[in-house]
Amino acid sequence: MDSSNPPTFSIRCYCSAVSLKAEAAPSSVVDCHCGQCRRLSGAAFTTWASFPRTAIATTGDEPLRSFAVTANVTRYSCRVCGSHVFTADVRLPTILGVPAGALEGAALSPPSVHYFVDHKAPWQTICDGQPQFGGESGMTPSAASCADPGDT
């Protein structure tokens, strides 16, 4: 890839008070089915895009509110509308996790993996053929639970 011309995304909250530029290809795009991600999004799961921290420009003037979920993880949201716009983890100091639903601009690669599938919402069926990981860690290889409609 031509590093002088990275894809450009914007990370925009629901009310548009927060609009951040992210100039890089995400290093990963994953679906996380853990309970935190479900509550955070209000949806069945969160699709996360990981960006190099240096690729996301903040001016310091954005109306951001931070919430320290744990000693390691801090989530940032719009102070006006409450949309989650990115998460920082001190254990992963070079990246920021961005909820993919907040992204627009360049085309995002589809998610390549599912994590925490044993914690997924009971109404969710994962049938896209991508690798699945579960167990207590959320990262143990897990057999896909998708029933093949042709098997009945």
- Contacting residues toward Zn ion, per CB under 5 A: 13, 15, 17, 32, 34, 37, 78, 80-81
Per the listing, tokens 């031509």 go with 2
Q: Which is nearer to Zn ion, 86 or 150 (CB)?
A: 86
Least Cβ distance, residue 128 to Zn ion (angstroms): 17
Angle at 30 between CA 142 and CA 46, to 5 degrees: 100
| Nearest residue (CB) to Zn ion, 37 versus 126 | 37
From the CB of 149, what's the least distance to Zn ion, in Å? 28
Judged by beta carbon, residue 32 or residue 55, the one nearer Zn ion is: 32
Give me the least distance between CB of 78 and Zn ion, in Å please: 3
Tokens of 18: 């927060």
d(CA 138, CA 30): 12
* Burial (CB count <10 Å: 0-12, 13-18, 19+), residue 36: middle
